[in-house]
């Protein structure tokens, strides 16, 4: 098969859909990789490294998309790419359709077979293709939060780690999944006073043991969220329901009562965000103010560290890409129920129920699609 890898065009996005290791593996399996010239430059990966592993460089993105059987990306297509979608194309990327009705409609109208990284899911609930970027976003959140707390950035001027005789910043992490655990780890390493909330007691117990009770764990409830948010210097939202819109846990009224200069980082922005006032921002203009608090809602946070992110993402996606290329999407999904959960759209139908529910549409069962 021909696998097309275009340059990402979303604002501030410097990742690329495959590393040279991925090219080597696909070419070794008898496939052709069509890479847009310069696609890896933002990740500090030169064209020559891809060519050395067998990639074919293509100048025009229309040719990358048009000649490919499978298009491999990092981020969802944006409006300027919609005209390249077609009914015989398999698109494998992050889609986050529950928060993007316009893209959902385009994929349906153009009858694209859309497979989303973020809804591939093991029986345990683990999301293997979201995991590496959740790690990266979690690690970044305390860093960007600490920067936003600086007085010159509009923050309260609180130092994350404090100094002798002065309290550290109080960091509240909503959600104890992969993202939340990594956020807690970095915030703790920066010397902050860290509290994690979740409805899953097993995750909270894991937090207890992992951090030797140095991170507070609280069973999440409306009252607990309110109490912790109002006392926080930095709130990190990392709540995820696979494929669905994130629940709104922090209301506008809560923000109005927070400390002046407090900071809220919404990692769940790709799925609509878990703060009421969240709207997507970019790396070029990452923050906005609500009631004297700073919101950081960049929808592609890992794009800030594209070299690390590209290699980490390919490590996770490559076995699935090889299966798609070797067997075709239908047989690859039939053989792997976890992979099958990644199918979001096909032939004008929504296959992912949470996406359909987010937009008030009907869905079809994946079994009926795979036969």
Residues with catalytic roles: 96, 270
Q: What letter would DSSP give residue 168?
A: P
Contact partners, residue 29, CB within 8 Å, separation at least 6: 322, 325, 326
- CB 119 within 8 Å of CB 337: no
Sheet containing 287-290: give its strands across: 216-219, 193-198, 170-174, 234-237, 263-266, 293-296, 287-290
Q: Residue 291: how many CB atoms within 10 A of its CB? A: 14
| Token pair for 293 | 């608090």
3 state SS of 152: helix
Q: Are strands 349-350 and 287-290 parallel, antiparallel or unpaired?
A: unpaired
- CA 40 → CA 13, 83, 117, distances in Å? 11, 23, 20
């Amino acid at each position: 098969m021909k696998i097309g890898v275009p340059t990402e065009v979303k604002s501030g996005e410097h990742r690329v859909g495959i590393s040279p290791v991925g090219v080597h593996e696909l070419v070794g399996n008898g496939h052709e990789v069509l890479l847009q010239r310069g696609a890896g430059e933002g990740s500090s990966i030169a064209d020559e490294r891809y060519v050395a592993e067998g990639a074919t460089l293509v100048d025009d993105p229309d040719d990358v998309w048009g000649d490919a059987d499978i298009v491999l990306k990092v981020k969802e297509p944006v409006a300027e790419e919609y005209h390249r979608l077609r009914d015989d194309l398999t698109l494998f990327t992050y889609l986050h359709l529950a928060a993007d009705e316009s893209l959902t409609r385009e994929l349906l109208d153009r009858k694209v077979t859309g497979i989303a990284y973020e809804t591939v899911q093991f029986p345990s609930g683990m999301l293997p293709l979201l995991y590496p970027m959740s790690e990266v976003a979690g690690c970044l959140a305390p860093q960007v939060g600490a920067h936003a707390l600086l007085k010159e950035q509009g923050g309260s001027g609180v130092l994350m780690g404090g100094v002798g005789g002065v309290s550290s910043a109080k960091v509240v992490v909503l959600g104890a999944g992969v993202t939340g655990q990594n956020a807690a780890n970095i915030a703790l390493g920066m010397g902050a006073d860290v509290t994690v909330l979740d409805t899953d007691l097993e995750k909270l117990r894991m937090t207890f043991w992992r951090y030797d009770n140095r991170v507070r764990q609280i069973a999440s409830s409306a009252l607990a969220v309110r109490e912790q948010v109002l006392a926080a210097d930095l709130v990190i939202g990392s709540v995820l329901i696979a494929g669905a819109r994130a629940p709104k846990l922090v209301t506008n009224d809560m923000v109005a009562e927070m400390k002046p200069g407090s900071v809220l980082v919404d990692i769940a922005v790709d799925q609509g965000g878990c703060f009421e006032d969240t709207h997507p921002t970019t790396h070029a203009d990452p923050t906005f103010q609500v009631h004297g608090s700073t919101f950081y809602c960049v929808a592609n946070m890992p794009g800030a560290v594209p070299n690390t992110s590209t290699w980490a993402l390919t490590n996770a996606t490559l076995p699935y890409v090889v299966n798609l290329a070797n067997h075709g999407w239908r047989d690859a999904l039939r053989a792997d129920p976890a992979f099958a959960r990644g199918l979001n759209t096909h032939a004008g139908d929504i296959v992912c129920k949470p996406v359909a529910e987010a937009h008030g549409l009907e869905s079809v069962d994946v079994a009926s699609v795979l036969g």
